[in-house]
Amino acid sequence: MIPDNVVSASELHRIFQLQRSHQYTAKNSTAAQRKAKLQKLKDVILANADAICAAVYADLRRNREMAQYTEIYATTVAIDDAIAHLDEWMQPVAVEPVGTSAGTGEGQIRYEARGQVLVLGPWNFPIQLVLSPLVPAIAAGNVVIAKPNELSPHCSAITAKIIREAFDECDVAVFEGGIDVANLLLDQPFNHVFFTGSPAVGRVVMAAAAKHLASVTLELGGKNPVVIDATADLVAAAGKIAAIRTMNAGQLCLCPDHVWIKREQRDAFVQTVGAVLNKMYFVDGKLNADALGKIVNERNFARVTGYIADAVERGAKVAFGGGSDPVQQLVEPTVLVDVPVNANIMRDEIFGPILPVLVYDDLAEVLDYLQNHGKPLAAYIYSKDQKFVERFLANTSSGGVTVNGVLSHASDATRLPFGGVNDSGIGAYHGFHGFRELSHARSVFTCA
């Protein structure tokens, strides 16, 4: 590990120039060579599985089973998919011959490497969301510098170890550190920047990339709504929403952020959610801290508990939970009702285990609100009425949608594109969509 205080501009510049001189070698690598690099990454990840789980627990108190799924499996399944399909992805795509002003000929689309790529990871899924973007970057023939997030220091260290064991630094290099290191990296003229994090920091990254006219992939977040209509199965909806809202202590960009439900159904829904949360996280009335996980640091703990206090001060009621422990950085799974739309919790992405439940009488009320509050990363609909679903889809916009479920559109890690729109992100990846995102589609026309 290179400590933050010894990451020098000269060392970073050395690596950047090394990769610049190597980028065309990487671009011209064969499918077999790229697949070998990906297989080596998978092998190193699996060899470090115990250390990965220990690091995730140390930083986020996430249990081993969840760490194995979110950090290891989610990455290795992407590697397996790329290895299985890379020969096909790399093939030029023939275009039907047509006549032009210059005569007849044949056209092709060739997917070529973007060149030098910077990957900046987040702290909430700190290993997967650095290593997973490497998969399409390598598959597309790029060279990469990665920076794990400093707010998850144990995960940053193991991520750096994995990258150094798996790759030659001319292909993939890694720098640990804080904002100063991120700024040094953003000063370099990368061809593409892949950032996962908050919209606020995404704007900073995009502005830095603009100085070099670099393309960007921004995987951000947003206020992911759930809309439940009168035909929905409330028990099924409550179970899934409660589980995912509190996954990783609510620190997940795809979490259901707030629920809209018919006025007459609210109390039954809230009661069911409370019963689910009680069963999931409490033993004899005591919160199981290991089952829930912790808020990442003191600043975010204060932010999350502040949302509850502000909402209650403005008239909201705590229907379940509401407690917290600053020593363990724990916030109980909490359900709020009667939340005014001007409360801070309705303005900011929550990133904590709190679920505001709002009521509506007509879908038009919900659509009007959503149309005037940005485009989220995800939207969730519970309904057996296809006309209701189609009306929602036609009058809203989001990165993705799951109908009668939560997360499903994003958990398909090989076929559906994953990404946001406007405030919730730019670009998309997973499977071939990631290969294409980290490639330049180059037009080639050969005259007859």
Has residue 417 been placed in a domain?
A: no
Domain shared by 265 and 336, yes or no: yes
* pLDDT of amino acid 7: 72
**Same domain membership, residue 382 and residue 443:** no
Question: By the 8 A CB rule, do 138 and 13 touch?
Answer: no
Residues 144 and 233 in one domain: no
- Please tell me the predicted confidence (pLDDT) of residue 101: 61
Question: Quick one: three-class SS letters along 65-128?
Answer: HHHHHHHHHHHHHHHHHHHHHHHHHHCCEEEEEEEECCEEEEEEEEEEECCEEEEECCCCCCCH
Task: Note the pLDDT of residue 413.
Answer: 72
Q: Are residues 431 and 395 in the same domain?
A: no
Predicted confidence at residue 90, as pLDDT, reads: 98
Give the neighbor-by-neighbor strand order of the sheet with 425-426. 172-174, 143-147, 116-120, 192-196, 215-219, 425-426
The answer to the question of residue 114 being in a domain is yes
Tell me what the mean pLDDT of segment 365-369 comes to: 97
Comparing 4-8, 107-111, 217-221, 284-288, the range with the smallest average pLDDT is 4-8
- Determine what percent of the chain is predicted with pLDDT higher than 70: 97
73-116: pLDDT as tens digits: 999 999 999 999 999 999 999 988 776 565 688 899 999 999 99
Shared domain for 172 and 312, answered yes or no, is: no
Q: Is 150 a catalytic residue?
A: no
* CATH at 439: 3.40.605.10
Q: Please check whether residue 384 lies inside any domain of the structure.
A: yes
Both 141 and 11 in a single domain? yes
CA distance 216 to 62: 30
| pLDDT computed for residue 96 by the predictor | 81
- Structural domain count, the chain: 2
The residue among 305, 249, 115 whose CA lies nearest residue 191 is 115
- The reply to whether 239 and 311 lie within a common domain is yes
Q: Virtual CA dihedral for 363, 366, 372, 374, nearest 10 degrees?
A: -110
Structural domain includes residue 235: yes
Whether residue 416 lies inside any domain: the answer is: no
User: Is residue 419 in a domain?
Assistant: no
Same domain, residue pair 114 and 259:
no
Torsional sign, CA 139, 140, 146, 148: negative
3-state secondary structure string across the chain: CCCHHHCCHHHHHHHHHHHHHHHHHHHCCCHHHHHHHHHHHHHHHHHCHHHHHHHHHHHHCCCHHHHHHHHHHHHHHHHHHHHHHHHHHHCCEEEEEEEECCEEEEEEEEEEECCEEEEECCCCCCCHHHHHHHHHHHHCCCEEEEECCCCCHHHHHHHHHHHHHHCCCCCEEECCCCHHHHHHHHCCCCCEEEEECCHHHHHHHHHHHHCCCCEEEEECCCCCEEEECCCCCHHHHHHHHHHHHCHHHHCCCCCCCEEEEEHHHHHHHHHHHHHHHHHHHEECCEECHHHHCCCCCHHHHHHHHHHHHHHHHCCCEEEECCCEECCCCEECCEEEECCCCCCHHHCCCCCCCEEEEEEECCHHHHHHHHHCCCCCCEEEEECCCHHHHHHHHHCCCCCEEEECCCCHHHHCCCCCCEECCECCEECEECHHHHHHHCEEEEEEEEEC
The full length of the chain comes to 448
pLDDT at 277 over 70: yes
What are 35-79's pLDDT values in tens digits?
A: 999 999 999 999 999 999 999 999 999 999 999 999 999 999 999
Q: What is the phi-psi region of residue 51: left when phi exceeds 0, alpha when psi lies from -120 to 50, beta otherwise?
A: alpha
Catalytic residue among 53, 155, 253, 255: 253
pLDDT digits (tens, 9 = 90+) for 144-203: 999 999 999 999 999 999 999 999 999 999 999 999 999 999 999 999 999 999 999 999
Q: What local confidence, expressed as pLDDT, does residue 102 receive?
A: 58
Residue keyed to tokens 């975010």: 300
Place of tokens 């990451």: 7
> Are 239 and 139 within one domain?
no
Interaxial angle between packed helices 153-166 and 49-60, expressed in degrees from 0 to 180 and rounded to the nearest 10 = 160
Residues 306 and 285 in one domain: yes
Q: What is the CATH number of the domain that holds 310?
A: 3.40.309.10
Q: What is the pLDDT of residue 448?
A: 80
353-379: average pLDDT: 97
Is 219 annotated as catalytic?
yes
Closest CA to 253 of 309, 209, 324, 201: 201
Flag whether 418 is in a domain. Answer: no
Q: Which residue range forms the structural domain that includes residue 344? A: 225-411
- Give the chain's mean pLDDT: 95
Residue 313 maps to a domain: yes
Q: Are residues 378 and 306 in the same domain?
A: yes
pLDDT of residue 3: 45
pLDDT given at position 103? 66
**Same domain for 359 and 437?**
no
The predicted-structure confidence for 393-429, as pLDDT tens digits, reads as follows 999 999 999 999 999 999 877 889 999 999 999 999 9
Structure tokens at 34: 């790229």
Instruction: Give the pLDDT score at 1.
Output: 42
Residue 4: pLDDT band by 50, 70, 90 thresholds?
A: very low
17-31, 254-268, 341-355, 408-422: range with lowest mean pLDDT = 408-422
Q: Which of 53, 71, 176, 219 is catalytic?
A: 219
| C-beta neighbour count of 440 within 10 angstroms | 15
What is the structure's pLDDT at 411?
A: 86
